Amino acid sequence: MIKTTVTLAEVIAYLNELVAADPEAIGELVESRTPCNRTLAEHPIVQVLRHLDGSCSIGILGILNGLFGVDQSSWGTIAAIFEVVCPRGHEVPPRSTVREQCAQCKSQLGLGKLEGFRDIGRR
């Protein structure tokens, strides 16, 4: 059956199904970016990563978020949720961010495996 309409909740549920099936593959797909030109980068709702050197790249989440529109700050509503890890394997407190340092070794925390997707409701 072909669907002619899909809700945000259905897309998020589908993405979470895919993560449950193969978190490594979907995690790599979500993290991957492809260079894009200025025309695509200036699209009014597609989301791109703008690099310090002026170049831009796009990922699958920026495309999916564009389907559902963006808020006043040009953010989409679908968020990929990754665990936050210490590169040296120390335990990380809940709600830590990648901008923080590990309390034990002072290494910068980074992204771990993809845990799922959710609607961040910034609308």
pLDDT, position 71? 81
pLDDT, position 70? 80
Average pLDDT over residues 82-96: 92
Statement: residue 89 has pLDDT above 70: yes
Crossing angle between the packed helical segments 60-67 and 23-31, to the nearest 10 degrees: 80
Domain boundaries, the chain: 8-119
The sign one gets for the Cα dihedral 104, 110, 116, 118 is: positive
Average pLDDT over residues 51-71: 92
Statement: residue 65 has pLDDT above 60: yes
CB 59, CB 30: distance < 8 Å: yes
Residue 45 — pLDDT band, cuts 50, 70, 90?
confident
Q: Which two tokens mark 49? A: 């990563």
Residue 56 — pLDDT band, cuts 50, 70, 90?
very high
